Amino acid sequence: MKYISTNHSTPAVSFFEAMRNGLAPDGGLYMPAEIPVLPDPFWSSLHELSFQEIAFRMARPFFEGELTDYELRSVAEDAFNYPLKLVSVSDRHSVLELFHGPTLAFKDFGARFMARLFSEQAQKEQREVTILVATSGDTGSAVAHGFYKVPGVKVCLLYPKGKVSKLQEQQMATLGENVTVLEVEGVFDDCQRLVKQAFTDADLSSQILLSSANSINIARLLPQSFYYAYAFGELKKEGAKNPVFSVPSGNFGNLTGGLFAMKMGMPVNTFLAATNVNDVVPEFLAGTSFTPKDSIQTISNAMDVGNPSNFARIQHLFAHSDEAIRHHLKGYSFTDGETRETIREALEIHNYLFCPHTAIGFRAGESYRAGRSGETSVVTLATAHPVKFSDVIEPETGHKIEIPARLKKWLNREKESITIGKTFDEFKSFLMETA
């Protein structure tokens, strides 16, 4: 399997080269030269398979010639050693809980899978790599914990100063060891811009082996397709057909993972792109041109993205056909007020507590179902445990959220972070000095 750039002006590479590079030399994102289509018997037997087995079978074509079956099975079994659950919240509307991993966020799936791949690569090449990550919240903590003490790997996280929750900050900024945390005086888009510039800076790249664990990295993106197949299999047990997936979306890696699964043969045709007021993609899906704009801070901070990188991958998957994209994706956006209302009503009516991001996905799913027959089944991806946003949820609902024991320890640890400005020269100098 070869991997090409969405900008189509750089040579094709292997999976591990694409993973190590993060971003293609021409500034594009890596994509498989072709999406492998799995046979019908696989999709019809999903309900009989464990999640680890689903992950192995879906990943296998992407690693042909690079990992043995034994190595790939070991990666999947080690990375996904925690549960995921499909929970019915209302009639024909289920929630796929993706927050049962170490940092209680869906980002654990991609980060842990990728970390184990980097470990495999480090053992084979005996060369240290520096992982650069721009985060608006949960990506940072998931990557920090996924790569913590992984031999041959250093991690540098960038997040917007004062714009992540206290718990998210404590989870990623208290580890130390091979994890360095930078607070950038700006917004998430500034952090993402600095990371992208670092990858295209020839002087920097000649002295430091750089890679990324954001959803711009194909190794982070690929495992996000696995749990769609798992949810589809679980729904088959209940006799549901042709479900619709509602996906809380910021940088659009999670939704792109679902489209990967669809292109691999999963018989699902509709996805809901659910955003907060950073509605660049929903506006495009409504018929306007794709026009990036400055991000706006909201209570669903992981979705505060004004120029989602993975939209380039979505365009690539559909051969840049706006009509085809709009056929498979429906867009919804909601304000903070509507998000708070959904959190409150879901607890009152369904006795289910959403984080702000999942609340947006659930509201999109309910909005989609409102104009359609009762036969439509919707799965909303629950991206984070509500405790990570207790500062928003508790005042709104009056419901005290108990902090899981494995998270309590991070709240009292001393933060280790460095504040920098948003200029690339300052960021580059820091990287060079600490190399």
Measured CA to CA, the distance from residue 275 to residue 22 in angstroms comes to 26
Give the tokens for residue 142: 């998931």
- Angle value at C-alpha 197, between 27 and 223, nearest 5 degrees: 60
Measured CA to CA, the distance from residue 7 to residue 254 in angstroms comes to 21
Measured CA to CA, the distance from residue 159 to residue 165 in angstroms comes to 11
pLDDT at 277: 97
Alpha-helix residue ranges (DSSP H) falling in 148-288:
166-173, 188-200, 202-207, 218-221, 226-237, 253-263, 280-285
Q: Is the dihedral of CA 191, 196, 199, 202 positive or negative?
A: negative
Q: Where are the beta strands (DSSP E) in 67-178?
A: 85-90, 93-97, 129-134, 153-160
pLDDT at 268: 93
Measured CA to CA, the distance from residue 302 to residue 388 in angstroms comes to 12
Residue 121 CA, distance from chain mean position: 22
pLDDT at 284: 98
Q: Which residue has the tokens 């007020």?
A: 337
Residue 221 and residue 260 in contact, taking contact as beta carbons nearer than 8 Å: yes
- What stretch of H or E contains 410? helix 405-411
pLDDT at 74: 93
Give the SS3 label for residue 35.
Answer: coil
Burial 132-167 (b: 16+ CB within 10 A, else e): bbbbbbbbbbbbbbbbbebeebbbbbbbbbebbbeb
- From residue 187, alpha-carbon distances to 45, 156, 158, 273, 301 in Å are 45, 17, 10, 22, 11
Nearest to 254 by CA among 94, 98, 85, 90: 98
Measured CA to CA, the distance from residue 253 to residue 98 in angstroms comes to 15
CATH architecture of the domain 83-106+221-397 equals 3-Layer(aba) Sandwich (3.40)
Classify residue 23 by its DSSP letter.
B
Measured CA to CA, the distance from residue 356 to residue 385 in angstroms comes to 10
Q: Burial of 404 by CB count in 10 Å (0-12 exposed, 13-18 middle, 19+ buried)?
A: exposed
pLDDT at 82: 93
Measured CA to CA, the distance from residue 190 to residue 196 in angstroms comes to 10
Q: How does DSSP assign 116-135, residue by residue? A: HHHHHHHHHH---EEEEEE-
Measured CA to CA, the distance from residue 96 to residue 234 in angstroms comes to 10
- Listed as ranges, residues in the chain with pLDDT below 50 are none
- Angle value at C-alpha 187, between 186 and 188, nearest 5 degrees: 130
For 348, phi and psi rounded to 5 degrees?
-70, -40
pLDDT at 138: 67
The domain segmentation of the chain, as residue ranges, is 83-106+221-397
Measured CA to CA, the distance from residue 204 to residue 425 in angstroms comes to 11
Q: Burial of 201 by CB count in 10 Å (0-12 exposed, 13-18 middle, 19+ buried)?
A: middle
